[in-house]
Chains A and B, each alone.
Chain A
Amino acid sequence: MTDSPGKPLTTAAQPLRAHSPEVSAARARRWGSFFYAEQVLRVMRNYGWSVILYSVGQPVAYLFAMGVGLASLVDANSEAAFGGVSYLEFVAPALLVSAAVMTASGEFSYPIMDGFKWRRVFYGPHASPLIPQQIASGHIMASTVRFLLQSVVYFVVVALFGAAPGPWGWVSALVATVSALSFGLPLMAYAASITQDKGQFALVQRFIVMPLFLFSGTFFPLDTLPLAVRWIGWISPVWHGTELGRVFTYGMDQDPLLTITHVVFLLATAIIGWVLVRRQFVKRMGS
């Protein structure tokens, strides 16, 4: 409690005035998703250091372990198995995509439950002129910024390791971001449908994220796997993203039709996921 009246911040002559409700509503209708994205980014800024350390630390650790440590054994045996590139070059685009997908599995699961159930943060903006679809889109947009930043940092580390020989390698950062959305948005739609936490996200991590990470042509070409598990790669955003990343990073030889398939798969799943997310948010929060 203050002891003195203090200096008024405004005076009757120059009152601090909010714009009219009509202007608020018009701005919210137009820019609402961005307004909510701003909130999410402000929250992320609070743990910015851990985002940066994760973005840098993870590629350094993985590239050393897989690309340098494991590669010394693999390359000594056969370079031809990896399309004539070193194991480090082969594995780097896959690690980049996997890292983005893993971040998405975090960003689109627990925070959604938090928004609807634990701390109910989605209901605050819903009492403002924002609509549920904008809250969903704002969360997605802010997360996309995070995936992109992380992927750019990851790519820079890959480049510093000398694992991005081609001029188009940077596109793999975009591919990783789209892959994250391709995997993450359907997950977000599922997360938005959960009303009781019964450990579903831990199951998603163990039985979906991990198999996708291991069986998506990440550490070895997909066609070396038996057909019985190869399908995991075909439906995996990690595989589609990784294959595209390899094309851009070191010019992996690929049928153009297959390249287009990868692009279409990633975009289609992301768009369908986005539609489902918006629908689920409306269902959960009303109009």
Chain B
Amino acid sequence: MQEYLQEPFHIFPGATSLLRVHNEAIRSSTQSPTPSESSRTNPDMNPQTVISARDLTKTYGDLTAVDNISFDVPAGESFGLLGPNGAGKSTTMKMIGGVSQRTSGSLNIMGLDPESHGPEVRAHLGVVPQQDNLDEELRVRENLIVYGRYFGLPLSYLRPKADELLEFAQLTDKANSKVDALSGGMKRRLTIARSLINEPRILLLDEPTTGLDPQARHILWDRLFRLKESGVTLILTTHYMDEAEQLCDRLIVVDKGRIMAEGSPANLIREHSSREVLELRFGSERNATIGVELQGIGERLETLPDRVLIYAHDGEAALEQVTSRGLRPMTSLVRRSSLEDVFLRLTGRSLVD
């Protein structure tokens, strides 16, 4: 109990024992200390790379879904692919998961090529697909057990493990429910629990919170954050900038199959945007023409159909300049720069159309 209360989040008690065990399993199965651990003890030490992509390309006929991308992911890192729908994120995930063959380039997961060693690579992974594909005809707990059987895991391991994971996913009460009876957020958590049945060291999450309400998203982020803390490498695709900022240590911004930028969320914002952003709305008809009158305020100006963005170190000061020119926006808002602004800067488009 004492230990439980010491946890930073204690809305869900079962997570403590699960993470302790998961962490333990990861530590003991890694020959060297886990990179997250080693980087804590020795920040200069190069962590073990678990995923390495070089000039990865995937074409479907004339369409180039993934265009010559390269990246490395060290163990224990939470790595994100941020980009709009159709940017090539899911295709990249499928290639990592060994379920889609690349057109060219090289890919290495835990030292193995997923194309020639699909089962071996997938045995290392936990996969949360964009679309839930739970067995709706099986009950919640049975979904976990059946999935574990695909890894050849014995029932003596799977039965207690399924109970642990249900606790982790806050679904213990629903263990014997039909999957149909679960809400969208619950199904998502069950899918995540299912992906953990084999104690993977790498978890692939394709748009994990798309379609969920804000509360369900926050619960899910909390679960994922705990996994990250326990040393699991998270590979995450998202088109939500807040999700990327919350969960990713490092990310690549992807558009039209290409990497536009790479770095930590904070660094990307620092490199590609100002400290603050002033958002002004003058009404949809005036937004387009007001730009001329705003020239010279802030570092940069971006005109969108519904608002005008002024990038400035000090948003309040920029707003004062606007009003001092006699301009009266319908609404104004000063906020911190986000990854959305980075994306806008890099591509000229908004993340979610």
Query: Which residues from B are CB-within-8-Å of A206?
Result: none
**Beyond A24-B198, A43-B135, A119-B133, 20 additional pairs, beta carbon < 8 A:** A5-B1, A6-B13, A6-B14, A9-B163, A9-B164, A11-B17, A18-B151, A18-B198, A24-B152, A25-B119, A27-B152, A31-B152, A32-B150, A39-B135, A42-B138, A121-B135, A124-B134, A127-B99, A128-B151, A287-B101
User: Cβ of A231 < 8 Å from any Cβ of B?
Assistant: no
Looking at the assembled complex, report how far the CB atom of B84 sits from the nearest CB atom of chain A, in whole angstroms: 23
Q: Which residue of A lies closest to B136 (CB)?
A: A119
Q: Given A6-B14, A120-B133 in contact, is the A126-B21 Cβ separation under 8 Å? A: no
Chain A, range 113-131, C-beta contacts under 8 Å to B = 119-121, 123-131
Which of B74-82, B124-132, B308-316 touches A? B124-132
For B16, B20, B97, B137, the residue with the greatest tally of chain A CB atoms inside 10 Å of its CB is: B137
0/1 string, A1-29, CB within 8 A of B gives 1 = 11011101111100111111111111111
Chain B, range 81-137, C-beta contacts under 8 Å to A = 94, 97-101, 110, 115, 117-120, 122-125, 127, 129, 131, 133-137
Which of B141-149, B228-236, B276-284 touches A? B141-149
User: Cβ of A154 < 8 Å from any Cβ of B?
Assistant: no
Q: Which residue of B lies closest to A130 (CB)?
A: B150
Q: A23 to B151: give the CA distance in the assembly, Å.
A: 8
Q: Do B150 and A36 have beta carbons less than 8 Å apart? A: yes
For A4, A23, A25, A120, the residue with the greatest tally of chain B CB atoms inside 10 Å of its CB is: A25
Looking at the assembled complex, report how far the CB atom of A193 sits from the nearest CB atom of chain B, in whole angstroms: 18
Q: Do B161 and A18 have beta carbons less than 8 Å apart? A: yes
Looking at the assembled complex, report how far the CB atom of A280 sits from the nearest CB atom of chain B, in whole angstroms: 16
Q: A11 to B115: give the CA distance in the assembly, Å.
A: 38
Q: A180 to B53: give the CA distance in the assembly, Å.
A: 46
- B1, B25, B133, B163: the one contacting A15 at CB < 8 Å is B25
User: Cβ of A201 < 8 Å from any Cβ of B?
Assistant: no
User: Cβ of B347 < 8 Å from any Cβ of A?
Assistant: no
Contacts A/B (CB < 8 Å), 19 sampled = A5-B13, A9-B17, A11-B17, A12-B24, A18-B157, A21-B198, A25-B123, A26-B152, A28-B119, A31-B152, A35-B149, A39-B146, A120-B133, A123-B133, A124-B133, A128-B151, A129-B118, A129-B122, A287-B98
Q: Which residue of B lies closest to A38 (CB)?
A: B149
Looking at the assembled complex, report how far the CB atom of B43 sits from the nearest CB atom of chain A, in whole angstroms: 28
User: Cβ of A46 < 8 Å from any Cβ of B?
Assistant: yes
Q: Do B120 and A129 have beta carbons less than 8 Å apart? A: yes
Query: Which residues from A are CB-within-8-Å of B17?
Result: 8-11
Total interface residues on B, using CB and 8 Å?
Answer: 60
Looking at the assembled complex, report how far the CB atom of A43 sits from the nearest CB atom of chain B, in whole angstroms: 5
Q: Given A1-B170, A9-B164, A31-B152 in contact, is the A129-B123 Cβ separation under 8 Å? A: yes
Looking at the assembled complex, report how far the CB atom of B198 sits from the nearest CB atom of chain A, in whole angstroms: 5
Q: Do A46 and B149 have beta carbons less than 8 Å apart? A: no
User: Cβ of B160 < 8 Å from any Cβ of A?
Assistant: yes
Looking at the assembled complex, report how far the CB atom of B144 sits from the nearest CB atom of chain A, in whole angstroms: 12
Query: Which residues from A are CB-within-8-Å of B197?
Result: 18
Closest 9 CB pairs of A and B: A27-B152, A8-B17, A128-B150, A5-B13, A21-B123, A127-B127, A129-B119, A24-B123, A24-B151
Q: Which residues on B are within 8 Å of A, measured CB to CB?
A: 1, 4, 11-14, 16-17, 20-21, 24-25, 29, 94, 97-101, 110, 115, 117-120, 122-125, 127, 129, 131, 133-138, 142, 146-147, 149-153, 157, 160-161, 163-164, 167, 170, 172, 194-195, 197-200
Q: A10 to B168: give the CA distance in the assembly, Å.
A: 13
Q: Do A1 and B150 have beta carbons less than 8 Å apart? A: no
Looking at the assembled complex, report how far the CB atom of A183 sits from the nearest CB atom of chain B, in whole angstroms: 25
Query: Which residues from A are CB-within-8-Å of B195?
Result: 127
Q: Which residue of A lies closest to B142 (CB)?
A: A42
Q: A128 to B1: give the CA distance in the assembly, Å.
A: 36
Q: Given A119-B133, A127-B122 in contact, is the A18-B25 Cβ separation under 8 Å? A: yes
User: Cβ of A286 < 8 Å from any Cβ of B?
Assistant: yes
Looking at the assembled complex, report how far the CB atom of A238 sits from the nearest CB atom of chain B, in whole angstroms: 30
- B129, B157, B170: the one contacting A123 at CB < 8 Å is B129
Q: A277 to B85: give the CA distance in the assembly, Å.
A: 32
Q: Do A126 and B99 have beta carbons less than 8 Å apart? A: yes
Q: Do A120 and B161 have beta carbons less than 8 Å apart? A: no
Q: Do A21 and B124 have beta carbons less than 8 Å apart? A: yes
Q: A142 to B39: give the CA distance in the assembly, Å.
A: 49
Q: Do B150 and A285 have beta carbons less than 8 Å apart? A: no
Q: Do A28 and B151 have beta carbons less than 8 Å apart? A: yes
Q: A32 to B151: give the CA distance in the assembly, Å.
A: 8
Q: Do A21 and B149 have beta carbons less than 8 Å apart? A: no
Query: Which residues from A are CB-within-8-Å of B125?
Result: 127
- B100, B135, B142: the one contacting A124 at CB < 8 Å is B135
Q: Do B153 and A18 have beta carbons less than 8 Å apart? A: yes
Query: Which residues from A are CB-within-8-Å of B117?
Result: 25
Looking at the assembled complex, report how far the CB atom of A134 sits from the nearest CB atom of chain B, in whole angstroms: 9
Query: Which residues from B are CB-within-8-Å of A21?
Result: 110, 120, 123-124, 198, 200
Q: Which residue of B lies closest to A43 (CB)?
A: B137
- B29, B101, B157, B198: the one contacting A16 at CB < 8 Å is B157
Q: Do B14 and A2 have beta carbons less than 8 Å apart? A: yes
Q: A261 to B62: give the CA distance in the assembly, Å.
A: 49
Q: A11 to B20: give the CA distance in the assembly, Å.
A: 9
Q: Do A27 and B151 have beta carbons less than 8 Å apart? A: yes
Q: Do A129 and B150 have beta carbons less than 8 Å apart? A: yes
Q: Which residue of A lies closest to B124 (CB)?
A: A21
- A8, A15, A22, A287: the one contacting B123 at CB < 8 Å is A22
Q: A15 to B20: give the CA distance in the assembly, Å.
A: 9
